[in-house]
Amino acid sequence: MSRSIVLMGTGGSSGRTLEALEQRLSVMLGDVRFQFVDTQPFNLRTEGHTAYHGKGRRFDTNMADVGMRRLSSSLSANLLLNGGPAMMRRLDAYAESILGKRHDAIVMVHDRVYIEQAFVRAAARLGTPSVIVQEGPFVHVGADTPQNPVLRIKHALAPLLTRTGLLPAISSYGFAGHDLAVVPSKSYRQRYIVAGMEPDRIAIGGVPRYDQIAELAARPAPSTGESGPLQLLYLFQPFGEHGKVNPQTAAKVQLAMIEGLNRAGQARDIHVTIRIHPRSTADSVAHLTSALHVPHTLDRCQRPIEQAIDANELVLGHYSSGLLEAMILSRSVLCIPIPAAAFAEQSEAGKQGWMAQSGAALAHDAAEVAAAVERYDRGAPDLVPPSALEDEVGEIDGRATDRCARAIADLIESRGPPCGQTP
């Protein structure tokens, strides 16, 4: 009898990570039936579906299936406006109806949305072990601290709303009740233990989507010659739109960067590629492209980010994990920091803080951006040493997917024969 594994898509790069795990689990476990369930339609900030090209049977969730409407971009406010505890019961029943029966495992990469936590609870009721694979760096482990006034009010009211039953408690990342958490590094394992997770529930695997980067990491930057334009890649983040950063501050910092690039373009030949975020559109960067007066193109995320990085020499951004990937690929990075006070939560500000202290070059205004681009030396680029990255990404050796899949397979095999088959 074949095994049965459910994969939970959550937008972004989750589909790519789950496809890679699916391939390895098929080899390790033999006959496996996969089901891919996409919860991205419940994302209140960005609509659409998760890109997934695996072999599993796909099911796209739909808010209309449970009678939920998009009345607010806030998860908690939207749940309250849609009936609070009554809607939560519908979500729990919905998740259980989609799973339908016991499976050998449910695998996800994110668990901080109500629908995701409903699937974890439903899996537990059906006797299905749950696994979360941390698919990237910069994950805040443990309770967070809000910084902006609105989030502070919500944070203060949360205990009351939870005690009265109006809202369920949302657990920290990784703490939704999983049987196994697969994390990137020893450092992350220790963070989870300090936050209260049982050590025997944690395995170290690395970052599966960085396996492709390992194949490119040894390659030198593209040779364009001294007469060719310096190739710049800007990694756009929609943090203003998504409420992570004060929108006015975000726009101010981004436009200052654009002004700096315009100045640099007067001093040397440059070409800028603006790569939009997977959860944004070309409209999100229209204010930047309209102000940029040097040759430029728009990258709509139709190729993997490591390929975009590999085609450029200098990578610009704020605190995108893509900057870390550029460091792994031995590309120079120019970090344009967002002021800490502009962040909605301290954990998000912490990501920016890490990037600013990583050893990457920093530019705080248009003049510093222009100066950094003008003095970039193709013959001796400034690089961040790999040792600075290990705590966040673990081992980059092309075998992270194997390690993560092995941890999942070991959990499945420890639970006995395939679901539905008696010993």
Tokens of 235: 């990694």
Backbone angles phi, psi at 272, to 5 degrees: -110, 130
Give the model's pLDDT for residue 270.
Answer: 98
Q: Residue 114 is inside which H or E element, if any?
A: helix 114-126
pTM of the model: 0.89
* Of 170, 160, 208, 266, residue with least CA distance to 25: 208
pLDDT in tens, 366-378: 999 999 999 999 9
pLDDT in tens, 405-416: 999 999 999 999
- Residue 3 CB-density burial (10 A; 0-12 exposed, 13-18 middle, 19+ buried): buried
Give the model's pLDDT for residue 346.
Answer: 85
218-388 is classed in which CATH architecture? 3-Layer(aba) Sandwich (3.40)
CA 343 – CA 422 distance, rounded (Å): 53
Reduced to 3 states (helix: H, G, I; strand: E, B; else coil), residue 41 is helix
Give helix 14-29 / helix 400-414 axis angle, nearest 10°.
60
CA 51 – CA 19 distance, rounded (Å): 10
pLDDT in tens, 25-82: 999 999 999 999 999 999 988 778 999 999 999 999 999 999 999 999 888 899 999 9
Give the model's pLDDT for residue 386.
Answer: 84
DSSP label of 245: B
User: Looking at this protein, which amino acid is placed at residue 222?
Assistant: P
Q: Could you identify the residue written with the tokens 């030396």?
A: 377
Residues of the chain with pLDDT under 50: 422-423
- Integer-rounded Cα radius of gyration of the chain: 22
Residue by residue, DSSP assigns 69-105 as: ----SSHHHHHHHTTTHHHHHHHHHHHHHHH-S--SE
DSSP strands (E only) in 342-405:
361-362
**What CATH code would you report for 3-212+396-414?**
3.40.50.2000
Identical fold for domains 3-212+396-414 and 218-388, yes or no, is yes
Write down the domain spans for the chain: 3-212+396-414, 218-388
